[in-house]
Each structure stands twice: as structure tokens, then as C-alpha cells.
Amino acid sequence: MITSANFPPEEGIGNFIYNMSKEFIRKGNQVTIITRGSSSKIKEEDFEGIRLYRVPFFPLYPIHVQIHGIFVKKLFSSIQSDFDVIHFHTPLPSPLKTNLPTITTVHTPMKTDTAKVELVNPFSVAVKLQGKISCLIESKLFKISDKITSVASSVSQELGEYGLNPNDVEVIGNGVDEKLFCPIKNKTNEKYILYTGRLSYRKGLFDFIECGVNICSRYPDINFKLTGKGPLFEKLKKIVQESGYENRFEFLGHVEKSKLIELYQNATIFVLPSHYEGLPTTLLEAMSCGLPVVATAVSGNLDVIESGENGILVPLKSPDKMAEAVSSLLDDENLRTELGIAARKTIEEKFTWDAISNKILDCYSSIV
């Protein structure tokens, strides 16, 4: 597998690749990952049974991918005889010319990713400009791929902008470790609404805070917890301070996995207010822990939630509707329980790593 994601995995894409690799190994396959490294030399290591190559990466924008690609191609030419399939993971792995079967999994198309960037500072302007080059690299990657897959139906549709037929892009979904992220019987007494994820503009967190202030004004025993880092950390804290409900919101920053699982397991409701997603890992984690969820009706959320059956979907950028949905759950313990049970069942049936890895192995078989 060829990727730009960090190892050990720090977020969604790296987590996806790591868990797929572990499943492939468990099922009797050998896995090699080529990713970016911080050294000026190629380094090889064993990472939990995965053969891992860290290839030099220099952030010389906008030609960083091309420079990194020189090192990747040099390494690949010396080891490609070891492989049966090459699997690229976006964003921006280095395209390679090879006669081996190739597959690309798209987590978020660069055209969509770039379009969603809000021009709020010089860095965001640079990202917009870099996006044009990134889209060309991504288009080249699609042309050399024998099969293209995506993590969500919405992502498949977005690939139509590259001239691809969305019906030819197989949706494989995303996964979660249902054994780690599982419900518990005895929760703590604290009632709180949980958000987990990056604190960035596209996550809809201004809507979440507005919803939270609404709830705080009517439910004196409900608190809000947010995990994660990002550019909005201080701005969101300031908004909360000005609301007069500072003592009801807790910004936890980055939390370790064991703490994150505890937060899910003891939460009352999980809210995902995003304006855009692929198929969010955090949503699957919350549902796997048996939480009732409220999420915006966008992107991959629509692949997972059937509103009123295993969660509640609300319109995009609608904090009032979000607050109504949260209120309906706070007022009805039976509804919370029913949606939580159905959410867990959805994960067990469709979104375990075992199920997702089988889909990918089937894709490999179709092109080998």
C-alpha cells in the first residue's frame, strides 16, 4: 500500500490503512506500506507485522509530491517483484508506472477538499492554489488504476468531476474495532453531549456551540465535551466564554484512545455537526459504543444513518434543528436506548474491519 498517512496512525486515513493491514495479515496475507518519512534516507522497519518503508519527504510546496515521488519510484523499482497488488490511498500518494494490478481508494477527492477550504488566512490561500496541482496528480493516479474504490457514496459521486463514472467506483465504506468500541452497562452519573474530531471550519462547530448554548439554557444538568485539536480551538473557547456557559463546556484537546473510548461509553448523546465528511470514523466509533447519534444529513453520514431508525439526521447548518433533535433524545430515555441499540447493530452488521477488509480482498481478486 502506498500512502501519505502517518504511522503510527494519528487520524482517519492512517487508522483505516493500519486496521486494513492488520486484518489482511490475520487472514494470511503479507503487507508492505510505503509512506512519508522525516529522514533524508529511506528507512525500513517492522511495524506490528507490517513491512514499513518511510521514504524521505520534503515540504517544498508546490513540488513536494514530485520530489517525494522520486524516492518512492527508486524504492519501488527495487522491491516491486515482491507484490501481487499495488493499493494507493489518497490524498496524494505518488503515482507509479507498473504492470502490476493497481487499486486506488479515495477518502476525499482533492477537488472537493480544495473547494471546501475557506479563505481565512494566507495558508488557506496557499492550499487553494496548491489544490490545482494536487488535482492533476490525482487525475494521473486514477488513469493508472485498474480499479477505484471510495469510502462513501458521496465520494463516488464527487469523482464524476474527474470524468469518472460514479457507478464504476465501488463503495467499500469505513470501519471500526467493535471489540474495543463497545457499550457498557454502568455509566457514570454525569450527563453530557459529546463531539470528537478535528476542530476545523468544515466540522460545523459554530453550529454545535450554538446548539449547545440553546440546550444549556433549558437543561441545567447537561454538559458538553469536545475532544480534538485544530485551528478553531481558541476561537470556540472564546465564543463559549462570551455565552455565559463556560462552566458547561469542556475542551479536552487530544485524548488517548483508552480515554476516548471511555468518553464515548459514558456519553449521553453524540453529535456530529459536520458540513462535509467522507465517512467519519468518529460516527462509527460512537455508534459502535451504542450511543444515540445526531448528525448532519451530508456525505457519508447518509450511508450509515437511517433517520429515526438508528440515529437522527438534521439539515446542514441548522443549529436550531440540531437542538430540537438533541432535546427529543434528552426528553425520551427509551428513544435514546432504542437508537443506541440499533446503532450498535448497524456497526456489527456492516462496518467492522473484518467486513470492510473482505470487501477490499474481493476487489483485489477481481483485478489479479
Q: Which of 282, 136, 88, 143 is nearest to 203 (CA)?
A: 282
pLDDT at site 137: 82
Burial of 298 (0-12, 13-18, 19+ CB in 10 A): buried
Indicate the burial class of 203 (C-beta count within 10 angstroms; 0-12, 13-18, 19 or more): buried
pLDDT in tens, 56-102: 888 776 677 778 888 898 999 999 999 999 999 987 777 788 899 99
Question: Which burial class, exposed, middle or buried, applies to 123 when counting CB atoms under 10 A from its CB (0-12, 13-18, 19+)?
Answer: exposed
| pLDDT value of residue 61 | 67
Task: Tell me the HSE value of 32 on the side-chain side, using a 13 A CA sphere.
Answer: 16
**Facing residues of 87 across strands?**
103
Q: Which pLDDT belongs to residue 151?
A: 95
- In terms of Cα–Cα distance, which of 137, 133, 130, 138 is closest to 158? 138
The CA-based angle 296-298-300, given to 5 degrees, is: 110
pLDDT tens-place values along the chain, 368 residues long? 998 888 877 677 889 999 999 999 999 999 999 998 888 899 999 999 999 999 988 877 667 777 888 889 899 999 999 999 999 998 777 778 889 999 999 998 888 777 766 666 666 666 666 667 778 888 999 999 999 999 999 999 999 999 999 999 999 999 999 999 999 999 999 999 999 999 998 899 999 999 999 999 999 999 999 999 999 999 999 999 999 999 999 999 999 999 999 999 999 999 999 998 889 999 999 999 999 999 999 999 999 999 999 999 999 999 999 999 999 999 999 999 999 999 999 999 999 999 999 999 999 999 99
pLDDT at 123: 62
How many angstroms separate the CA atoms of 345 and 340, rounded? 9
Question: Domains in the chain and their CATH numbers?
Answer: 12-175+353-367 (3.40.50.2000), 191-350 (3.40.50.2000)
Residue among 167, 144, 14, 161 at smallest CA distance from 73: 144
Cis peptide leading into residue 183 (ω within 30°): no
To which residue does cell 475532544 refer?
A: 227
